[in-house]
Amino acid sequence: MCGIVGCVLNKKAAPTIIDSIKKLEYRGYDSVGIATVTDKINVKKGSGKIDEVDSKINLKDIDGNIGIAHVRWATHGNPTTENAHPHCDCKNKISVVHNGIIENYKELYQELKNEGHVFKSETDTEVIPHLIEKYMDEGQDLLTATQSTVKRLIGSYALAIISSDEPDKIIGARNESPLIAGISENGNYLASDVPAILSETNQIIYLEDKEIIQVDKNGIKIMDLDLNPIEKEVTTITWDPEMAEKGGFDHFMIKEIYEEPQIIKDTLSEENKIKEIVKRFKNFNRICFVACGTSYHASLIGEYLIESKIGIPTEVILASEFEYFKKTLDDHTLVIFVTQSGETADTIKALKIAKKKSETLAIVNVVGSSITREADHVIYTRAGPEIGVAATKTYISQLICIYLLVAYLDENQELLDKLHSLSGLTEELLTKEKQIQTIAKKYSKAKDFFYIGRGFNYPTALEGALKLKEITYIHGEGYPAGELKHGPLALIDDNIPVVGILPPGPSYNKTYNNLQEIRARGADVIILGANNDTQISDFEDKLLFNPIIDEELAPLLYIIDLQLLAYYISIEKNIDPDKPKNLAKSVTVE
């Protein structure tokens, strides 16, 4: 988490840098800072969101054609001005921004302190400019001092470094935290993610772990840790820069929900590529999904689909827990990694473990991200940039990829035909927005929610509860509908709304009876059912009628109701749904 931007331009850099770093605020918003280099290092920084800090100290009012900036999500040290990046050395000649965690910083800190270095922050990052200072004092230039420094760092880092002793360049380095370079006629760039610099260039180079980069007005030079030059492919990004803007909506989250019908069409266009990948699979008799958060819930639906349709033993493991299951891997296991960013630290670590024994497949949104370069096979979700921290359209696109994968593994034309009917049904569902706003208004003061579903729709209950927690700060729990009687029913009363996911299908009657039990204990029930369902109209509680779709495909539609419900409750509570507290879009540290 945290975002980095660096620019070497033929004009004043600060306006471009600040505009760019704003596009990374989804990665962190505890504090922000900028440093440029002229005949000296110029630094402005403060705690708070970018606009708040900018209104106080005018971040763009700083000279220099070369600069770096950072937006922070605190890991070491509170979100204060002193702990904000950039950090400098004792002589204020070197400035560094950093994304990641330096695991051995305490040892380095003590070593440097014993040598007379004075520190101003509580961060792990500050040891980096002091180490560079030490090596430059010994006669090394900025590049070799950076090389010497990163060889001593244990942990993850994406770095951008400037020095007033060499004011014509930025040095960058990467290990287990994302860093990209951008090339244009007007300048050259470093950044944590594509949206930051997409309005300046669509010519992107992705750095790998243990690579160092020098950026100057003449171009870029990428090297390994021994400073041997590396030739890199330039990727042309096809996203329109406007895709990363709000487009007239109040928030990115609601814009991205409304993009879901188009995202379904775009992701279905990957159908032939998925078909070809399935043909290349080796002989496997077990499937293991690995994911975190929302991607974990998408994977659970994959488990239900594969087990019920194909009969291949399948399990889903949280990436952060994967290390404890690694001994079960073999060359007859297909391990599928599901991730929006392709930079999730836990998932990358799990992939590196799995590759040693098993065939690997990545389902990922970001072209060229770390996971796409590690996995044996890659399916792109084609959702475009998702700026809101809470995943919405990327979840839908992950599900489409999983359903397509299952359809081709099963050679199931009927399922393929159903998938191609979804986009229009999604547009129909979005016409129910006003009903959801009314429900949100009624329940915005609730302190707890329960979400229940059976079979394919149990993961939808989990994802609905997660969306509520993420952007409204209301406690929500998702349960299999039949599980409430095994303990949680004791919590049900007239203060807790219960969301029941009730599409037509084999589990309908049992789930309906569970909802009756809940209503008998005084709870308000918010039912998500189908347009032709006359039975649920007997309920006096809130109802939401959806396009008629069978239980198997319901996860692709019913989750949109729950995304909208969470969104409008956050609006009622005057919470910014795009930037929930304590969360960031890409979790790049374990």
Q: Tens digits of per-residue pLDDT, 444-466?
A: 999 999 999 999 999 999 999 99
pLDDT at position 81 is 93
pLDDT of residue 585: 57
Would residue 120 show up in a list of annotated catalytic residues for this protein?
Answer: no
pLDDT for res 588: 52
Catalytic residue among 22, 134, 469, 585: 585
Q: What is the pLDDT of residue 94?
A: 98
Where residue 257 falls among pLDDT bands split at 50, 70, 90? very high
Of 363-372, 483-492, 497-506, the one with minimum mean pLDDT is 483-492
User: Can you read off the two tokens belonging to residue 150?
Assistant: 């990163």
pLDDT at 584: 59
| pLDDT score, position 548 | 84
Mean pLDDT over 415-423 rounds to 89
Q: At what angle do helices 393-410 and 271-280 cross, to 10 degrees?
A: 50
Q: Are strands 157-163 and 166-175 parallel, antiparallel or unpaired?
A: antiparallel
Of residues 403 and 428, more confidence is placed in: 403
Going from N- to C-terminal start, the domains of the chain cover 3-242, 246-420, 430-578
Query: Which pLDDT value is given to residue 242?
Result: 64
Model confidence, pTM? 0.71
Q: Alpha carbon of 225 to those of 9, 175, 260, 401: distances in Å?
A: 26, 11, 43, 37
Tokens coding 376: 């044996």
* Amino acid making up residue 38: T
What pLDDT score does 546 carry? 84
Domains 3-242 and 246-420 share a fold: no
Q: Give residue 550's pLDDT.
A: 86
Chain segment 322-341, per-residue pLDDT in tens: 989 888 899 999 999 999 88
What mean pLDDT is predicted for residues 360-367?
A: 89
More confident residue, 459 or 430: 459
Distance CA 198, CA 19 (A): 11
pLDDT tens for 73-128 read 776 777 899 999 999 999 999 999 999 889 899 999 999 999 999 999 999 999 99
Tokens of 258: 């409304």
Instruction: Note the pLDDT of residue 244.
Output: 60
Least trusted range by pLDDT, from 2-6, 228-232, 302-306: 2-6
Residues 6+ apart with CB under 8 A from 15: 60
246-420 — its CATH code? Answer: 3.40.50.10490
168-213 pLDDT tens trace: 999 999 998 889 999 999 999 999 988 899 999 999 999 999 999 9
pLDDT digits (tens, 9 = 90+) for 268-284: 988 989 999 999 999 89
pLDDT at position 243 = 62
Give CA–CA dist 30/46, Å, rounded.
9
DSSP assignment of 363-396 equals EESSTT-HHHHHSSEEEE-------SSS-SHHHH
Confirm whether 2 is a catalytic residue. yes
User: How many whole angstroms separate alpha carbon 224 and alpha carbon 232?
Assistant: 12
Distance from C-alpha of 394 to C-alpha of 257, rounded to nearest angstrom? 10
543's CB contacts (< 8 A; 6+ apart) are 526, 527, 529, 536, 537
The predicted structure's pLDDT at residue 590: 53
Does the domain spanning 430-578 belong to CATH 3.40.50.10490? yes
pLDDT at 586 over 60: no
What value does the mean pLDDT take over residues 231-249? 77
Average pLDDT, the chain: 91
Of the two residues 56 and 74, the one the predictor is more confident about is 56
Q: What is the CATH number of domain 3-242?
A: 3.60.20.10
Q: Tell me the helix, strand and coil percentages in the chain, rounded to 5.
A: 40, 25, 35
3-class DSSP assignment, residue 205: strand
The phi-psi region of residue 2 (left if phi > 0; otherwise alpha if psi is between -120 and 50; otherwise beta) is: left
pLDDT in the model for residue 62 = 96
Looking at residue 28, what is its pLDDT?
Answer: 66
pLDDT of residue 489: 72
